Amino acid sequence: MNEQRKFPLGKAPFIRKADSSVSTSRMMRDLLIALLPLVIFAWVKNGLLPFLHGDVGVLGMLYPLLFIAAGALSSMLIEGLYFMIFMKETHVAKRLQESFALIPGLLLAMILPLHTPIWVLILGATFATLVGKLIFGGFGYNLFNPALVGYLFIMTAYYGVIVGNGGYLNASEMTIEAGVTPLTHFFGNPNLDLNAIIAPYGNIGNFLFGLHPGAMAETSAILSMIACVYLIARKVINWRVPVIYLSGVFVLTYIIGAFQGYALDLRFPLFQLFNGGLVFGAVFMATEPVTTPRTPNGKVVFALLLASLTVMLRFTSDMSEGVATSILFLNMLVPLIDRSMAKVRVEGTSRHVIITYCIIGVVLLAIFGFTMMQIGV
């Protein structure tokens, strides 16, 4: 009497953003698009310009591109081998695409000094992929940022090799009398005043555009910032971490500078902001979704802690570069931050909320207070 038609079952909701616009694969594609100008800049600065000046040959001109490609390919290769040998995977190419295998090696190559020997890079990329990613269970499960795991490994084990091989300065920068990167110059000569620190590199604008010695692709603050705007507009990353992290560092270093007599000189905080891997790290490392908080208020707390830790490490430890270490350290705390912030977010009672934020405030003050004490102001 009543003929019924059969239908497949599904799960609500039946409209998914992933089907039409923001999907994981599109987000990764956008990330690569955002990285492309930085790769090109690295090539122009470290390969093309020295070549035009006659400082390097054709191979030297192409070297930056080969270097970055080698990093990306080796981490892809390692993950491919892992899928083939240990997982007995049949669709390796598809799995590699789904787990974004080239990202760790690509990012690693971009933050290493130009004169890192390729074998060190390959070793680092292998370490990044294996220890940073695969032993945790692959993409989505890793606790630490894989690229930074590889970076810290190289910097602790092979720093001497890199320095022996030529270090940070490209062929055209050998003429710079300071002979080191601006940050090393700054922390190595605590008695020099700011003008003397900046003088060997031109002016503060050079730091913004990235025409100063530094790691492969992270020197250009302006390009990283443009990439940041693009990624935020494409909803790939959230604005909270980069914006709060960078402005946090700016404010804290301004306070430090003010105590050292640069209260009216914004070049002090800007010098700190544009140098080292700070902007690159804030845009590409501190926003890496897997290893950073999921909760919006957690992201704010994470960024504030990052800012104070970075400043502390820069001004109190031997390592002039605090970005990588502070990001890795806070990666470890992400589950804790997320869980407590998720509870605060859903909680309606104000007491719990106030107590939690008070604890975080005290921690932030303690870190900054310690920094100020160490500097001795």
Partner 1 sequence: MIFRKSTSIHISEHPGHKQLSLFTPPSEYKKPEMVYIPLVEGDPCEAVVAVGDHVLVGQVVAQRKGRFGLPLHASVSGEVTSISKKMWHASGMMVNMIEIKNDFKETLDPSIKPNDVAKLTPSQMIEIVKNCGIVGLGGSGFPTFVKYSSKCEIHTLIVNAVECEPYLTADYVLLKQKTDELIRGIQYAMKMSGASHAYICIKQDKVQAIALLEDHLQDHISIFPVKDVYPAGWEKYLVQRVTNQTYKMLPSEVGVVVNNAATLIAMCAAIEENQPLVEKMVTFTGQGLAHPQNVLVKIGTLANEVIRAIGSYADGVTDANFIVGGPMTGRTLLFDSVVIHRSLGGIVVMPKESSAPALPCMGCGKCVEICPVFLSPVLIKNAVDKKDKDLMIALKADKCMMCGLCSYICPSRIELTDAMSKARATVLKR
CB of residue 268 to partner 1, shortest distance in Å: 34
3-state secondary structure 65-93: HHHHHHHHHHHHHHHHHHHHHCCCCCCHH
Here the tokens at position 273 are 């902001």
CB of residue 272 to partner 1, shortest distance in Å: 28
Is residue 248 a contact partner of residue 217, using CB atoms and an 8 Å limit?
Answer: no
Residues whose CB is less than 8 angstroms from the CB of residue 84 and which lie 6 or more positions away in sequence, other chains included: 92
Is residue 346 a contact partner of residue 290, using CB atoms and an 8 Å limit?
Answer: no
CB of residue 31 to partner 1, shortest distance in Å: 11
CB of residue 288 to partner 1, shortest distance in Å: 9
How big is the CA angle at 146 (ends 278 and 344), to the nearest 5 degrees? 75
CB of residue 324 to partner 1, shortest distance in Å: 20
DSSP letter for each residue of 231-292: HHHTTSS-SHHHHHHHHHHHHHHHHHHHHTT-TT-THHHHHHHHSTTHHHIIIIITT-GGGS
Nearest CB to partner 1, comparing residues 115 and 299: 299
Nearest CB to partner 1, comparing residues 16 and 53: 16
Which residues in this chain contact partner 1 in the complex, by CB under 8 A? Answer: 2-24, 26-27, 98-99, 138-141, 235, 238, 289-296, 299, 338-339, 342-343, 345-350, 353
Nearest CB to partner 1, comparing residues 169 and 237: 237
Nearest CB to partner 1, comparing residues 288 and 321: 288
What span, in angstroms and rounded, lies between the C-alpha atoms of 313 and 367? 10
Among candidates 68, 73, 195, which has minimal Cα distance to 129?
73
Nearest CB to partner 1, comparing residues 138 and 248: 138
Q: Scan for tokens 């004169």, then name that residue.
A: 115
Among candidates 30, 24, 139, which has minimal Cα distance to 75?
139
End-to-end CA, the chain: 91
Nearest CB to partner 1, comparing residues 295 and 325: 295
CB of residue 145 to partner 1, shortest distance in Å: 12
CB of residue 172 to partner 1, shortest distance in Å: 39
Nearest CB to partner 1, comparing residues 138 and 210: 138
Residues whose CB is less than 8 angstroms from the CB of residue 315 and which lie 6 or more positions away in sequence, other chains included: 256, 371, 374, 375
CB of residue 335 to partner 1, shortest distance in Å: 9
CB of residue 298 to partner 1, shortest distance in Å: 8
Is residue 167 a contact partner of residue 115, using CB atoms and an 8 Å limit?
Answer: yes
Identify residue 265 by its one-letter amino acid code. Answer: D
Nearest CB to partner 1, comparing residues 18 and 59: 18
Nearest CB to partner 1, comparing residues 143 and 192: 143
Nearest CB to partner 1, comparing residues 348 and 376: 348
- Dihedral sign from CA coordinates of 145, 146, 149, 151: negative
CB of residue 374 to partner 1, shortest distance in Å: 34
What span, in angstroms and rounded, lies between the C-alpha atoms of 108 and 103? 8
